[in-house]
Every structure is written in C-alpha cells, then in structure tokens.
C-alpha cells in the first residue's frame, strides 16, 4: 500500500493478514505541554518524508491506576490517534466509527488491547481511537484558561477525522462516535458541545452518559471548587506557575475529593467521578447544541454493571477476600442511604423480602441506581424530545464470567463489540459458540447503526426504536430478542424517588 497523505504529511501503517491496515500514533494536535498545558489543543506540526505509524502514541497521565495494560508510555504529550481501515481507497467512503475510551476520566488509553479495532474494521468500517487529557490536565477550571480541555481534545480529534479520513477510505459525512463508561459520558457531553456540531452523525452511549447522575456534584461549580482546593494545595493560582509545576505534583494535588476512593463505611462506585466535563456555558452548554433532530442515538447497559466495581473476590486493588468479608450488611445500609436517600429503608426491605445475600443486594443496588434507572430516565427524555433512539440490555453471561461470578458486568459487551471473542474447548474455556454467534450479532448491529442509523439483527430485522407507547428494548442474552421495557421493582422504586423530587 502506498503512503497515505494527511494534512500533516505522509504516513505508512501496518498491514494485517485480514486485509485491515493500522495507522498508529498519529498526532492530531500539538503536545499539550509547557504553555499549552491548560490550553485548547493547538494544531499538530507537519512533518517531512513518510512517518511510520507502527506504534501507539503516549497514553495520557494516569491519575489513578487502572486494571489494564496500557501498551504505551504515559505522558502529557498524549494527543495521538489510531486508524484501522479495510480499504484506503478514497472512493470507498466507508462509515467511520470513532471510539472514546473509558476509565472515569482518570485512567485508560486507546492503546489497550481490548480496544484494538482491526476485527471491527474487518466488518467494513473505518475505526478511529484516540487519547485525550485525563483528570486535572483535562478538566481543571481556571479563571484565565477556562476548563473542559479534554472536551476540546475530543472535538479536535473529530475535526482531524473530517479533514483526513477520506484518504483512509472513510466517509467524513458518516461518522459515529461511540464510547463506554466515561467514554459514553464523553459522547453525551459532545451532544451538548456546540463546536462538535456537524463533526459526527450518530452516537452510541454504552453504560454511562444517561440522565441525572447520582452525585449532586456534577456541576461546573463543583469543578471550580475542586480546582480551588488544588490551587490551595499547590500554593498558587498563577497560570504560568501552574504550567511549570511537575506533573506528579499536579496529580497528587488533584485527588481532593475523598468520595473518589473507597472510604470506611462507603464503597467506591462509578458515581464518584472527580474530574469530568461540566456545563460551563462555553465549551459545553445546557441542552443539546450538537444533537440535530435527525441524528440517531443508541444507548444501553449491561445486566450486572456493578460486578465490575464490587467484585466477587473483593474490591479492585484490595486483597482477595470473600464477598461476605468485603461487603457487609453495614456497608449495604450505608450505600442504600447514599444512593437512594429518600427510600433507603424500602430498598433494604425489598432485598430482605427477596432473600438476597448482602453481596447480591449490593450489586443490584449499585447497578439499578447508577446505571439502569438513569438509562430509563434517558429513554423517557429522548422519546419526549422526539429523538430517534435505540436501547439495549447486554445480559449474556459467558462460561468464563459464569465461573468467576462476574456475570454481565460493566464492560462485558466490549469483547463482542471489538470482536475479541473466540470459542474455546474444555471446561476452562472463556467463550463458546453461543458467544461467537453473539459477537457476530453485536458487531453487525453496531456496524449497521454506523452505516444506516438503524441497528439490525443478523437476519436483517430492525431493532425497535424508543417510543412513549409500548416501550421496547433489545436484550442481548443467549440470543438477541426484542422485549417490552419492564423495569425491575428496584429500578421502579428508585425512579419514583426521582419523579417525586421533580427530576
């Protein structure tokens, strides 16, 4: 394959046996270091000759340790993207799928093996992924510099796609942004980012980015307060001085909200984000400034989201213990009053009446309060707005996840989306042939949505769209089925507290 010409210069990639070519570590903006720390991304510098795009660019500075191998060094110089393409013919005009990685805006990178886009691209789409500034580097609020620098990174990456993707065989007029967890919250934030309007045409929101986050602190004021606390810790508000401080100093000073970490009597939940995109009236606005009426959105959850955070073997990063040791009735009571303060006693009574173990109750509580009920509220809001939307529930429990008791946990759908599922032999196999069939079904639905705006089954049947009467959702379990949207009694109870409070 001949080198591809981008606006910055020519580049050559890696050619895989499946016909997909990968171009890794392409800069989409200048390194945000020195005077560009806490500044909007600047244009990437051009280069001479042919740039070899054979290795991932740096990951963003990790504010907290994640659980995956980044496969890349960490640096503030992290604004790099990756492209996987099955055809570099500009006439191909293939749909483009731009992935935003998760990690609570505190960790993670596009270079993680789970996000390798080669198998998804083999389905006939261009896959793009990118790194962005995390934590304090992406979301500090400063009266002179502004905030939401990471959001501007996302917009700049999308603008790079508009300017360059044709050379890789992609259609700049058909771009789908998709993300999971905080990556899904990023997709939702982009719907409210005026400068992103016209840069993407569909959105997939996986396991986050729904209505009314559990925490009452998801506001611009909370980011300002958090930033002010950081200024006090480092002893300055001077922008030049802040740009000159060592990155380790900034990271240490940025973890200022105790709820971000597990504390005695209270378990960590994904509602405990520290740095995040907030409505500032400039970069991110209230409402849906970048969501035109004709843009379809797909969103969904997994059945057992919280088992990623409250693991059967104890919390992530802690010593292996039994669920009974790690998750006590006292912790369950604290979490019930934290997540459902208006009806905590009713929640606990419901668990007792059902005879659930403390661990089962705790994971159901966090799943319902942080994911399922907010997704239900998003369903109601999107349909009330008259938007075209599709919703799903991923409930497949693979043999490996059955043995580990992780079930259909937060992130369980990602190996299916990216095609990293292969049937094994014997009792220790992680996946079986049911999983490979579902892998094909999930990839087909995601690609069809990117291609046409309508997700479909392998047989070609369109998923039901969200509607106010006879609401339906698509359940991805051992098969793909369309079922009435019947929230669990726990989700309904939590929803009643929201509606009673006027949310």
Catalytic-role residue among 181, 192, 254, 398: 181
φ/ψ of 97, rounded to 5, equals -120, 115
Alpha carbons 443 and 124: distance in angstroms, whole number: 11
Q: How far apart, in Å, are the Cα atoms of 421 and each of 89, 117, 308, 333, 481?
A: 29, 13, 19, 38, 20
Alpha carbons 315 and 57: distance in angstroms, whole number: 31
φ/ψ of 210, rounded to 5, equals -95, -160
Catalytic-role residue among 305, 364, 413, 448: 305
SS3 10: strand
Buried b (16+ CB within 10 A) or exposed e, 57-82: bbbbbbbbebebebebebbbbbbbbb
Cβ atoms of residues 172 and 161 within 8 Å: yes
Q: How many CA atoms lie within 13 A of 36 on its CB side?
A: 18
Per the annotation, the verdict on 357 as an active-site residue is no
Per the annotation, the verdict on 181 as an active-site residue is yes
Task: Give the contacts of 194 (CB within 8 A, at least 6 positions apart).
Answer: 285, 289, 290
Per the annotation, the verdict on 16 as an active-site residue is no
Catalytic-role residue among 142, 201, 310, 410: 410
Burial class (CB in 10 A: 0-12, 13-18, 19+), 169: buried
What amino acid positions are annotated as catalytic residues?
181, 305, 410
């Amino acid at each position: 394959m001949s080198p591809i010409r981008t606006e910055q210069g020519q580049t050559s990639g890696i050619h895989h046996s499946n016909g997909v070519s990968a171009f890794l570590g392409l800069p989409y903006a200048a390194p945000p270091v020195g005077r560009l720390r806490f500044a909007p991304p600047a244009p990437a510098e051009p280069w001479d000759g042919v740039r070899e795009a054979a290795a991932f660019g740096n990951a963003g500075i990790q504010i907290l340790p994640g659980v995956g191998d980044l496969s890349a060094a960490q640096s503030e110089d992290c604004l790099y993207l990756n492209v996987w393409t099955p055809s570099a013919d500009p006439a191909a005009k293939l749909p483009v799928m731009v992935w935003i990685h998760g990690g609570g805006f505190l960790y993670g990178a596009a270079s993680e093996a789970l996000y390798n886009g080669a198998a998804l691209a083999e389905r006939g789409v261009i896959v793009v992924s990118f790194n962005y500034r995390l934590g304090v580097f992406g979301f500090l609020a400063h009266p002179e510099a502004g905030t939401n620098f990471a959001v501007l990174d996302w917009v700049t990456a999308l603008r790079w796609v508009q300017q360059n993707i044709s050379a890789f065989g992609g259609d700049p007029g058909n771009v789908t942004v998709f993300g999971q967890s905080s990556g899904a919250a990023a997709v939702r934030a982009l719907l409210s980012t005026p400068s992103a309007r016209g840069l993407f045409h569909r959105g997939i929101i996986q396991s986050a980015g729904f209505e009314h986050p559990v925490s009452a602190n998801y506001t611009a004021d909370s980011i300002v307060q958090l930033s002010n606390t950081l200024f006090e810790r480092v002893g300055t508000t001077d922008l030049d001085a802040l740009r000159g401080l060592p990155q380790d100093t900034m990271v240490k000073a940025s973890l200022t909200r105790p709820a971000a970490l597990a504390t005695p009597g209270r378990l960590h939940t994904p509602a405990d984000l520290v740095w995040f995109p907030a409505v500032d009236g400039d970069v991110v606005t209230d409402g849906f400034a970048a969501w035109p009426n004709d843009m379809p959105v797909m969103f969904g959850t997994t059945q057992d989201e919280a088992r990623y955070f409250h693991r059967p073997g104890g919390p992530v990063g802690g010593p292996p213990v039994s669920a009974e040791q790690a998750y006590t009735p006292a912790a369950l009571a604290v979490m019930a009053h934290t997540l459902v303060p208006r009806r905590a006693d009713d929640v606990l009574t419901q668990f007792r009446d059902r005879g659930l173990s403390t661990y089962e109750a705790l994971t159901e509580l966090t799943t319902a309060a942080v994911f399922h009920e907010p997704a239900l509220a998003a369903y109601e809001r999107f349909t009330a707005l008259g938007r075209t939307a599709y919703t799903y529930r991923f409930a497949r429990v693979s043999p490996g996840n059955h043995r580990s008791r992780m079930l259909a946990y937060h992130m369980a759908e990602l190996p299916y989306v990216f095609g990293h599922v292969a049937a094994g032999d014997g009792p220790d196999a992680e996946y079986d042939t049911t999983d490979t069939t579902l892998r094909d079904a999930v990839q087909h639905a995601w690609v069809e949505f990117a291609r046409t705006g309508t997700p479909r089954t392998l047989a070609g049947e369109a998923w039901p769209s969200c509607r106010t009467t006879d609401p339906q959702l698509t359940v991805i379990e051992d098969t793909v089925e369309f079922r009435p949207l019947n929230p669990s009694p726990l989700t309904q109870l939590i929803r009643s507290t929201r509606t009673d409070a006027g949310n």
